[in-house]
Amino acid sequence: MTGRGQASSGDLLELVRRGRATTRGALQQATGLSRATVGQRLDRLFRAGWLREGAGGPVDSPLGGRPSITLEFDDAHAVVLAADLDTRHARAAVLTLTGEILAEQGGTLVIEDGPDAVLGELGGWFAELLEKAGHRPDEVCGIGLAVPGPVDSETGRVVQPPIMPGWDGYDIRGRLSRAFTERTAGGNGGGNAGGYGGAVAVPVLVDNDANLMAYGEQRTGYADCSAFVLVKVSTGIGAGVVVGGSIFRGIDGGAGDIGHIRVGAEALCRCGSYGCLAAVASGGAVARRLAESGVPASSGSDVRDLLAAGHPEAAALAREAGRRVGDVLATVVTLLNPGVLMIAGDLAGTAFLTGVRELLYQRALPRSTARLDVVTSRLGERAGLVGAGALVVEHLYAPERVEERLLALGV
């Protein structure tokens, strides 16, 4: 907040969204603003359609009187689009501003086909999903995208991604925004509920998939956990870290890239180096070892299917991979001291988790694991979608951005 007595309309909306002040009187008390000023700033939010009145609250005065009218964030005034890209598969969805999935689909999208083709196809998916959900393109306030590589959050561009050939430095935001506009041209209707209809480009936010999975899982299931780590083990290996409710990205988006920690093996990694954790313990590495022994497998998703079918060799290799990852995670846990360590992705089953726990508890200091919960994903394949949607909402409804958007709407 900008300071007592200086709170903006965006600050008031933030207080209401967080449940910290949900009546006009509570907003006056929290901000020091006069009743008239609070009313004027709330009026802008009502005219934008971002705020609504709820039921009357309790009567605080012993003398009785009318109950205070509560204020609520109106999550029905816009929707968010989200997509989660893996190496050979993708999921996309339409979500409410509070994270409820209204429509979704999954299908084959090959990351090696390049950004122009993949993002163009996503634009078509979004158009179909909006129609399925019964929403107009002009109701979309933003798009969130999860990708399997390190992302510079300032530019939305991936930086030297080992498993995304042709994507390095590509303008993902611009291409996806154009693809959405092209595939929904003529379907904007007459409104502008999201604030970005017509010729104005829909904002696109891009982040690493493990980051957004961690963000989605932490917000929905572990909101009180101040240090949360998610490790995604699929075709590659990556980690997302949420500290104090915010994604920790490092200086340029490289935080959490544990798949390229050297573990002393001789295997060649897709990044070009030898001995990376991903080269010996990812879903892709397990698939290669299975294929060498005559078991049909080419990706982490193939390994997942074999594990689900109870394949003994796949289970043995997954447990061995878990031990490799657990050895590295002992250092991660000692460094970050998280309350929750979540294992997600194609290999996140009993065999892999058993291997992780064996080495983690053997190598990490008891002090680091005494209050640690080692768990598997709650949201499953939806984690990245929920996290991408939440990223968009938190960005667009941050107090300073609320002011910009209200001015753009002319309210």
User: pLDDT digit string (tens) for 272-309?
Assistant: 899 999 999 999 999 999 999 999 998 898 999 999 99
State the pLDDT at residue 210: 96
The residue ranking higher by pLDDT, 188 or 77, is: 77
The pLDDT of residue 49 = 95
Share of the chain above pLDDT 70, in %: 92
Q: What local confidence, expressed as pLDDT, does residue 3 receive?
A: 46
Give the predicted TM-score (pTM) of the model.
0.91
Cα 3 from chain centre? 30
Predicted pLDDT at 289: 95
Average pLDDT, the chain: 91
| pLDDT at residue 186, as a whole number | 60
Residue 57 has a pLDDT of 56
Residue bearing the bigger pLDDT, 98 or 59: 98
Residue 68 is predicted with a pLDDT of: 78
Is 352 buried (19+), middle (13-18) or exposed (0-12) by CB count in 10 A? buried
What gap in Å lies between CA 67 and CA 57, rounded to an integer?
A: 5
Q: Read off the pLDDT of each residue in 368-394 and give the average, rounded to a whole number.
A: 96
Question: What's the sign of the alpha-carbon dihedral 146, 152, 156, 159?
Answer: negative
Per-residue confidence at 240, pLDDT binned at 50, 70, 90? very high
Residue 191: pLDDT over 60? no
Q: What is the pLDDT of residues 50-64, one digit of tens each?
A: 999 987 655 554 545
The radius of gyration computed from the CA coordinates of the chain, to the nearest angstrom, equals: 23
Q: How confident is the model at residue 5 (pLDDT cuts 50, 70, 90)?
A: very low
pLDDT score for 272 = 87
Of the segments 5-19, 38-52, 147-161, 190-204, which one has the largest average pLDDT value? 38-52
Residue 193 has pLDDT above 60, yes or no: no
Q: Give the separation between CA 85 and CA 114, rounded to whole angstroms.
A: 12
pLDDT, residue 189, reads: 44
Confidence of residue 111 (pLDDT cuts 50, 70, 90): very high
Residue the block writes with tokens 């990245």 = 384
38 pLDDT tier (thresholds 50, 70, 90): very high
> Which residue do the tokens 């798949």 mark?
259
Residue 379 has pLDDT above 60, yes or no: yes
What is the pLDDT at residue 2? 44
Pairing, β 101-108 against β 140-147? unpaired
Spatial contact of 43 and 30, defined as CB atoms under 8 Å apart: no
Q: Residue 334 — pLDDT band, cuts 50, 70, 90?
A: very high
pLDDT at residue 58, rounded to an integer = 56
CA distance 398 to 39: 20
Of 57, 107, 102, which Cα lies nearest the Cα of 85? 107
